[in-house]
Structure 1
Amino acid sequence: MELPWLKLLAQPCRLLLHALASGPSGPLAALRVLQRVQAREGPFPWQGFTAALCMEEPTLEGPEEALAVKPRLLLLPVVCQRNLFSLLQAVAAVVPADCVLQLLRAARGDPNLDPWVQALGALLQRGLRGEELSPPPPALTAACRQQLRCLCQKIAPSKLEGQRKLKWCPSEQLGAAGDAADSVLPGGKRKKASEESLEPDEGRGGKRVLLEEVVFDLPGSQDGEGEAGVEEMPAETAGDRSAQSTAGAAPESSQQDAAGEPGRISQTEVAAEVQAFIQMHGPRLKMLLLQESNRSELSIPPELRVLSHCSASQLEGLCAFLQLSTCPGQLLVRFCSWLLALTPDLSYASAAVLAEQLFLKRVLSLTQPPSRHLMAALTSFCSKYSQPFCQVLVAPVLREPGEGAEQTKLLCELVEECLEPDYVRLVLSQVLEVPLSERLLPVVLAVLGRQEALPPELFDLLVLTLCRQAPAFATSLSYAKLVTAVLTMYQSHVTPAHRSRLAAALEGSNAALKKSLQAVLGAPAR
């Protein structure tokens, strides 16, 4: 968030506010932040966080820009205020009561307070008074659920006719409907329907959406979106879905090109499958991404679940259709908030494709600090898919030639505030795979600043790299700081062999740096 006072807060508080500003799934992202902070640093500093938000700050109000003084809480974006009070509702048991009261008093100072925030504040107030909250009414009453079940049975009374039109019938029953001989794939090849029936159910079950799931299980079903999705499905796409349902789970069934060679998929088939996939799912997702959201804070569009069951090429095509690499920051945050709440989690391959499509171009082209939208999207995505994020985004940034000052600052911030210990070590190993430069030294310092335990082999590699490249940094103050950090923060790891190698490597350093480093080298381990 672009607020001057935000930089004055402690790192855990800044990271929590970034997560809360990440969109509809902000409370979920904030819960992850609290878990990481507690595992790494102990209890979250609620007292300091509350005092910072209740501190008054001058601001300009109204069209006349009249000077006013308001608590910082009221200067946060509305979505951040909503998410904060939702988070307090979820973790009320661990937040001191006086902190909640201070925030409630600060919120009541705004006559134009958002109604959502007012309602959440009232619930928090009742909870503090010990009043028993009445349970929320069920999304669907028993009578309504029974009516919907009857409707499902009327729509699909038999496996043969009703499900044939909506493409929900098992592949072995397609033959009885007239497709028993074979089906024609987009590339002109013919594939026996009997081959599909040999695929294991568990490999294909995840690709087929049952009508009952659409109506009863999806988060948006209470708004009537499940029924709308059934009505909007064009009948002519039934054949296309058959090819798509098997593309990700059983690629072996079509791994022959037009010449008949096994183990290869023709480019024509792949292009046709991707095009059919985009035509089926692209327009609806684009409309959902562009329209104003009226969903509950933690719900996602049911249409987004297709991301868990598509191939990498289909996902790349969908990202290109949605123009995710160049979309505005608000849409990027919205899409990433959907990914955060998506279940089941994406596969590594799908997450890697999204990391590249969403962020790589944006990060490599940074010439100024990232916007609050980009930072919020990076934080939320990185919190759930750290490994593909590091492999796809961090590695290319490290290998990028040139100064890259903004990229370096961004990597340092992610290392210091977002990554789990395992992925901090992964970043260090990635840095040591490329030649060290002045641009990369702050990244190594940020890694060491976390003071995470390093495996002996990784620490040996770090010392060896510092020794080998010492001549290139004979006058570098950053290099001297890095060597000092290694010797002071990881004293228990430093052996006499390490000290002798470093002492020999520093012989050619600048006189002043050499003297200070030799003093550190000669200091006995504590």
Structure 2
Amino acid sequence: MQHFSKLSAPVCLSRLDAKSRLLLQALMSGASGAHRALTVFHRQQRANPDFSLSNLIETLCQDEISCPDPETGPLVVKPNVCLFSASFKQNLLLFIYLVHSVLPETTILQLLSCLSQDSHPNPWVTALCRQLRRKLGTQPDEPLYTKACSQRLQEVSECLLGSEVTGGWAKCFSSQMISSESQSTSDLAELGTQRKRRGSFVHLDSDVEETGQQSKRMKLEVDESVSAEEETTPKASESAAPAETPASDSLCDVLPEDIKVSFLQIRELLESQSEWDQSSTDVFKVLNNCNTSQVEVFCNMLRLPDLPEHTLTKLCNSILSLSPDLSYSTATSLIKSLLLEKVLTLSEPASRCLVTAVTSLCSRYPRPMCHALIESMLEEENIGHPQAELLNRLIEGCLDSHYSLLVLQMTFRITWSETVLSVIHSLLDSKPVLNEEVFTQLIQQLISQAPHFTKSLKFAKMMLTILSKYSSHVTAAHKQSLSSCLMLNETFLKKSLQAALKRITHT
């Protein structure tokens, strides 16, 4: 799958089923990972009540060979989960805290044991591990904060005495930084890491986020970096909407002020239950002023995969009404964020709203749709019938010959299955214009795949379509290779295939 191409740890994806990989993707999606994973998991449970997290946890607990320092360091063996980033571990532990009731206690304890093997433990991860053990009743009296954190808290408390005058907080922290540099650079880095991650567990008041006053912001950073590790961290994630604060922090840092205002308007619009008028649609014109990274920030903070379907329809109508059209990169980011997760988690035929959204966007933006959605669907190893049905709708109703040819070439780079065969058959029925090079690639693919589909009627029918509709493309070399290929066929269409090949003559 495309979105797994840059994992932060060498987990062997072939060990995971498609649903577990989708969960893994959600957990890797930044500060909102735990919330996204919970949403995906609930959808998977509704589709299949017997779905289990065991495969994912067991794979994360399996040992993997790694090299911390590729130049000088020796090879070490560690559980897969230790090789991921600290943010992934935080998301994973928060997610498990929320769904621990569906997991055997031994499975959770095994994961915690693996995390304890981390050579550079993160304070937040340590606190979450202890909180999970406390929840399970295995270590009820162990404090959540580390000894280093306790010592730092005491130092900060002593430093704050008599700091009520203006600038006292800033003075306090400037002195802290100077003393810390002389004592321990690693402690300073740890404090900085904790400050950056404070928003994963604490919900700030939105008015405070808007002030931009440095002294107030510094006060908040200290209060939350102190309280987040002392308090019961997962309870904060249950009571407040996850990742609202990190999203707002990212907004202030990444987006210009005018785009930031538009984001707040769009968020309010998506959350409202009222009908949208023309002024509502005009808000989305800001997308034409965003670069690719800003669009990605927009999509992540708006949590587009979680939109209810009635809002999805209104959003798509607003996007389609924009003039001028969105750029390729903007449309690609938007389509991927808006539709990919919804489509990949389908366990039954797509709803009318979803079909309308996909087909309408594909008709207007076929190239971004091919690369953002269709290619990712084809790369999904266990693509199901609902996904294939949706793909066939797009092929038959939205893609012209040029884009059908592009999608056909995408199938040359994946492993074929019965479901993929039905998609290829639809592509061939749409009669894309095949040049000599592409047709030769198709024949080579047929020959290489034939041993796996000797009893497949779908494969036989697809070959019959090629021999009938594209007979003028078949060269003498093709004919000889196909003749050997047809000998492997064990379906009742074997004689028809051989007859169709025999009728092809060369002048």
Compare the two structures and name the one with the higher helix fraction: 2
Greater relative CO, 1 or 2 (CA 8 Å, sep 6+): 1
State TM-score, norm by structure 1.
Answer: 0.46
